[in-house]
């Protein structure tokens, strides 16, 4: 061990947070669900004068400082201005980054959880949810990552989010197809118009209301109609080859298909594991010369999980 490093001053701890898929068609910035694909961190508090250390591994280690910065922002936001001790933070990330699967939101939840633990005062769910929504700017990824399940949320600027969580439908799985396309969220948002026709607004209001009601009642058979959208997917389709064809796919086990978050990943909610659905979506990408990876995922019933390292 380097002479500048010190042994931890107390037992290390660990948190893990799931990926998430937001919007699900019409639920723009308001509806999301958690997916069983996780980022975790093992944290050791070091003695005074020790050198802070970050390490990253897992299937998708970051290629720049964005993930680290998001975790650090979460720690600082909830821990406040107090001087924090030097930390040894080992992050394991299995969430594809920049692919519409809530990687930055999961990192923010991870940071907020670490910060709340370090400040020595327990955080209520409402405080965690508000802090995460403030960091993200919208609640549709962060709160599902915090709580697991399906979340319907509303938030106005300067206000705390109002939300409700539903347990995920017991047999539902998600076939997520992630193409080798770069589509930063900022760029994806820039594609959207600044105003919409009343016809399109009414269309989406009805579908979003139906989407929330379908999850609340367990009426998964309504999702095909409920996941239709005129607010964001038509405008992002030009950057996701074959998106309209993917959304139109039908099959006995398909509840509905949508762009995952801002994309470019595509999510199919299915009755049970069905690799054929993932292959069909990947084949549409392939016809445009785009390679893609398919994930067969459970919906995560648990959000933030804590354990001793």
Q: What is the distance between the alpha carbons of residues 134 and 94, in angstroms, rounded to a whole number?
A: 25
Mean pLDDT of 211-229: 97
Is 42 in the same domain as 147?
A: yes
* Position 10 confidence tier, pLDDT thresholds 50, 70, 90: low
- 92 and 218 part of one domain: no
**7 vs 47: CA distance, rounded Å:** 7
pLDDT digits (tens, 9 = 90+) for 81-101: 677 889 999 999 999 999 999
Min mean pLDDT across 8-12, 84-88, 202-206, 234-238 is at 8-12
pLDDT at 204 over 80: yes
Count of beta carbons in the 10 Å neighbourhood of residue 72: 18
Q: pTM of whole model > 0.85?
A: yes
- Same structural domain for residues 81 and 207? no
Is residue 2 in a domain?
no
CATH number of the domain to which 79 belongs? 3.30.230.10
Q: What is residue 309's predicted lDDT score, i.e. its pLDDT?
A: 67
In a domain, 119, yes or no: yes
**Whether residues 158 and 185 fall in one domain:** no
Q: Say if residue 105 is in the same domain as residue 151.
A: yes
Q: How high is the pLDDT of residue 55?
A: 97
267 falls within a domain: yes
Residue 276: which CATH number? 3.30.70.890
Cβ-proximal residues to 281 (8 Å cutoff; 6+ apart), any chain: 175, 177, 246, 249, 257, 266, 268, 292, 294
Q: Are residues 162 and 180 in the same domain?
A: no
Q: Decide if 157 is inside a domain.
A: yes
In this structure, is residue 3 part of a structural domain? no
Three-state secondary structure call for residue 64: coil
Q: What integer pLDDT is reported at residue 308 of this predicted model?
A: 75
Judgement on whether residues 55 and 154 belong to the same structural domain of the protein: yes
Q: What tokens were used for 140? A: 């549709």
Same domain as 24, residue 161: yes
Contact status, residue 165 vs residue 151, Cβ threshold 8 Å = yes
Cα separation, 20 vs 276, whole angstroms: 22
Q: Say yes or no: 160 and 197 in one domain.
A: no
Residues 6 or more apart whose Cβ sits within 8 Å of residue 197: none
Residues 232 and 147 in one domain: no
Q: Which of 275, 272, 308, 271 has its CA nearest to residue 294?
A: 275
Average pLDDT over residues 239-264: 96
In a domain, 22, yes or no: yes
Distances (CA, A) of 238 to 105, 235, 248, 277: 25, 7, 16, 22
Q: Are residues 101 and 149 in the same domain?
A: yes
pLDDT per residue over 108-167, tens digit each?
999 999 999 998 878 899 999 999 999 999 999 999 999 999 999 999 988 999 999 999
Q: Whole-angstrom Cα distance, residue 260 to residue 266?
A: 5
The single-letter DSSP state of residue 191 is T
**Average pLDDT value for the chain:** 93
Residue 3 has pLDDT above 60, yes or no: no
Domain span at residue 286 reads: 173-298
Give the pLDDT confidence of 31-55 residue by residue, as tens digits: 999 999 999 999 999 988 899 999 9
Whether residue 8 is contained in a domain is answered as: no
- Specify if 285 maps to a domain: yes
Does 161 lie in the same domain as 17?
yes
Domains of the chain: total? 2
Please give the Cα distance from 300 to 65 (Å, whole number): 27
């Amino acid at each position: 061990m380097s002479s500048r490093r010190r042994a931890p001053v107390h037992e290390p701890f660990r948190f893990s947070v799931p990926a998430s898929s937001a919007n699900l068609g019409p639920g723009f910035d308001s509806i999301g669900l958690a997916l069983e694909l996780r980022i975790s961190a093992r944290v050791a508090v070091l003695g005074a004068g020790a050198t802070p250390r970050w390490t990253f591994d897992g299937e998708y280690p970051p290629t720049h400082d964005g993930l680290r910065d998001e975790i650090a922002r979460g720690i600082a936001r909830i821990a406040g201005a107090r001087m924090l001790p030097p930390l040894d933070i080992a992050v394991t990330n299995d969430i594809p980054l920049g692919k519409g699967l809530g990687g930055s939101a999961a990192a923010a939840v991870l940071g907020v959880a670490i910060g709340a633990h370090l400040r020595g005062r327990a955080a209520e769910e409402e405080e965690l949810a508000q802090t995460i929504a403030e960091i993200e700017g919208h609640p549709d990824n962060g709160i599902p990552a915090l709580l697991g399940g399906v979340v319907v949320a509303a938030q106005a600027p300067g206000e705390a989010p109002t939300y409700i969580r539903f347990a995920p439908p017991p047999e539902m799985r998600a076939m997520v197809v992630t193409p080798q396309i770069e589509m930063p969220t900022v760029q994806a948002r820039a594609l959207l118009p600044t105003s919409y026709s009343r016809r399109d607004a009414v269309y989406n209001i009805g579908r979003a209301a139906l989407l929330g009601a379908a999850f609340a009642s367990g009426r998964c058979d309504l999702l095909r109609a409920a996941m239709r959208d005129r607010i964001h997917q038509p405008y992002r389709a030009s950057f996701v080859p074959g998106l309209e064809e993917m959304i139109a796919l039908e099959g006995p086990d398909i509840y509905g298909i949508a762009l995952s978050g801002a994309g470019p990943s595509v999510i199919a909610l299915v009755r049970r594991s069905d690799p054929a659905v993932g292959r069909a979506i990947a084949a549409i990408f392939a016809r445009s010369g785009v390679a893609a990876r398919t994930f067969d995922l459970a919906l995560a019933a648990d959000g933030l999980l804590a354990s001793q390292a």
